[in-house]
Amino acid sequence: MSKLPSLSQSAKERLLNKALDAHDQKKQKQETLPPNSTVRGLFGRKFNDKLCRFDQFDGYKEIQYIELGGKSLGVSSPFFKKHDGIAGAVSLINGQEFINFSSYNYLGLGGHPDVTNAAKNAIDQYGTTVSASRMVSGEREVQQQLEKKIAELYSADDALVFVSGHATNVSTIGYLFGPKDLILHDALAHNSILQGTQLSGATRLSFKHNDWEHLEDILGRQRKDFERVLIVIEGLYSMDGDIPDLQKFITIKKAFKAFLMVDEAHSIGVLGSQGKGISEHCEINPHDIDIWMGTLSKSFASCGGYIAGESALIKHLRHYAPGFLYSVGISPCLAAAAISAIEVMQNEPSRVTLLKERGHYFLRKAQEAGIDTGKSAGFSVIPAMAGSSKNAVVLSNKLFERGINVQPILRPAVEDKAARLRFFMSSEHTENQIDFTIDCLASALEEI
């Protein structure tokens, strides 16, 4: 906000709020405007101009408006910040050091020397790419080693690695299920789960967040109308940081002969004393989950996603899942980095313990300071509710001015009234950093 030195902080915020309100009103008005003028294509054909231009897409117009509003008020965008080095508990942004809560480097393994060296060695051996789909000619031993490691982690028959976590969900759900099937997902499911469901053509129903009774009720009424049924939940929810009662979901899936899929993007390496995820945390048999899904981009300091489960599932996906079959194999350096990260986690379980301790410490301190942390269980993800998207942006900028980097979560990712700051914890955050952050956050919340 330094570009408007003559205005007080609160005056700048009032201006920002006004601009965003005006934008909302303007958007509503635009939606009721009559269709734009027509343009002519070849051979005299007439078309609606609005529907032939990229700058007329609603999403693009919204981005433009918010950027312009922000610029004119001197409010810098909280997005696309450039980090100069490794983004851990601290990070250099434009040459300045920040306490960093915006990166899911949960176990501090992004930038760990062993992980970095494993990636470098793999580059020396294989180069940076496998230059083909794995089935065609992109298979490398290091990819197979990673899949073996992941399968072991879940005591599963086998595992399959995709080049992106998002693509893993889209391709697996989208490929396995079809129009005669039913997919039931938690109301707060990640976008990749929704996209996969949409792609599948299955009927999609959501149940209330973490509400297994609601799920049971839907299945009781609807199960008979469908062939296959998939229930999708997450091990730890990426916006709220809370955990499902896994045993209840297992009982329901068994009762209704449904498949249960658990996305462990934010729970693998986080939950359980060894970091084995929600099965360890809830002390359930990992075989009770039909489809284990996870990402390599969080605790495992790499990039990609995986599915683990029984041989028939993995072999089927290995031969036919479009996001695997028609996409390049994971780069050897990323596979090697993930293997090394899993090994460091297994050799140093104190990292998992520390992450838990720091998360619990943050949660307790925040609650003592009267900050609304929603339903967070105090592990890797802790939200601080802001009340609106506008407040979340202002809060994020205020903390940034005090040397703390934390991302606001705005609509449409969450409802406007549920906008928040989302704190990603790392085992490397210190209690001092957390104390300072809570002090700054509490006073920033008072100011708004």
Ligand X SMILES: Cc1ncc(COP(=O)(O)O)c(C=O)c1O
The residues of the shown chain that bind ligand X, judged by CB under 6 A, are: 164-166, 169, 190, 192, 234, 238, 263, 265-266, 295, 297, 305
Contact (CB, 8 A) for 363 and 376: yes
Residues 6 or more apart whose CB falls under 8 angstroms from that of 172 comprise 196, 291, 293, 307, 317, 321, 323
Shortest distance (Å) from residue 171 CB to ligand X: 12
Q: How far is the CB of 235 from ligand X (least distance, A)?
A: 8
Buried b (16+ CB within 10 A) or exposed e, 139-177: ebebbeebbebbbebbebebbbbbbbbbbbbbbbbbbbb
Report the candidate in 57, 72, 84, 56 with the shortest Cα–Cα distance to residue 22.
72
* Nearer residue to ligand X within complex by CB, 169 or 433: 169
Nearest residue (CB) to ligand X, 138 versus 196: 196
For ligand X, the closer CB: 143 or 238: 238
Residue among 305 and 309 whose Cβ is closer to ligand X: 305
In the complex with ligand X, the residue whose CB is nearer, 70 or 88, is: 88
Nearest distance, CB of residue 218 and ligand X, angstroms: 22
Distance between alpha carbon 131 and the CA centroid of its chain, in Å? 28
Question: Based on CB atoms, which residue is closest to ligand X, 238 or 396?
Answer: 238
For residue 181, which of 199, 197, 203, 196 has the smallest C-alpha distance? 203
In the bound complex, what is the minimum distance in angstroms from residue 166's beta carbon to ligand X?
Answer: 4
CB of 255 to ligand X, least distance (A): 26
**Strands 259-263 and 229-234: what pairing?**
parallel
Q: Which residues contact 337 (CB under 8 A, 6 or more apart)?
A: 115, 116, 118, 119, 122, 300, 301, 302
Task: Tell me which H or E stretch contains 216.
Answer: helix 212-222
256 versus 379: smaller Cβ distance to ligand X: 379
* Beta carbon of residue 448, minimum distance to ligand X (angstroms, whole number): 27
Give CA–CA dist 242/76, Å, rounded: 31
Q: Within the chain, what is the greatest distance between any pair of CA atoms? A: 71
Instruction: Pick the closest to residue 274 from 189, 328, 344, 369 (CA basis).
Output: 344
Closest-approach residue to ligand X (CB):
165
Q: How far is the CB of 324 from ligand X (least distance, A)?
A: 14
